[in-house]
Amino acid sequence: MNISVVIPLLNEQDSLTELHDWIVKVMQSNHFSYEIIFIDDGSTDDSWNIIKQLSVKNENTKGIRFLKNFGKSQALHAGFEKAKGDVVITMDADLQDNPDEIPELYYMIVNDGFDLVSGWKKKRYDSVISKNLPSKLFNWAARKTSGVKLNDFNCGLKAYKIDVVKQIDVNGEMHRYIPVLSKNAGFTKIGEKVVQHQARKYGETKFGMDRFIHGFLDLITIWFLSRFGKRPMHLFGALGFIMFAIGFGFATYLGVDKLFLNPSGRLITQRPQFYISLVTMIIGTQFFVAGFLGEIILRTKQDKKRYLVKDELNLN
Q: Tens digit of pLDDT for each residue in 116-172?
A: 999 998 876 655 555 667 777 878 888 888 889 899 888 999 999 999 999 998 887
More confident residue, 311 or 220: 311
**What's the pLDDT score for residue 210?**
64
Pairwise CA distance, residues 34 & 42, whole Å: 25
What phi, psi does 109 have (nearest 5°)? -75, -50
What phi, psi does 153 have (nearest 5°)? -65, -30
**What's the pLDDT score for residue 211?**
61
More confident residue, 302 or 229: 229
B/e letters for 128-156, b = 16+ CB within 10 Å, e = fewer, are eeebeebbeebbebbeebbebebbbbbbb
135-142 long-range contacts, Cβ below 8 Å, gap at least 24?
A: 135/212, 137/212, 138/212, 138/215, 138/216, 138/219, 141/216, 141/219, 142/176, 142/177, 142/180, 142/219
**What's the pLDDT score for residue 262?**
87
SS3 state at 33:
coil
Range of weakest confidence among 29-33, 92-96, 191-195, 226-230: 226-230
Pairwise CA distance, residues 167 & 230, whole Å: 17
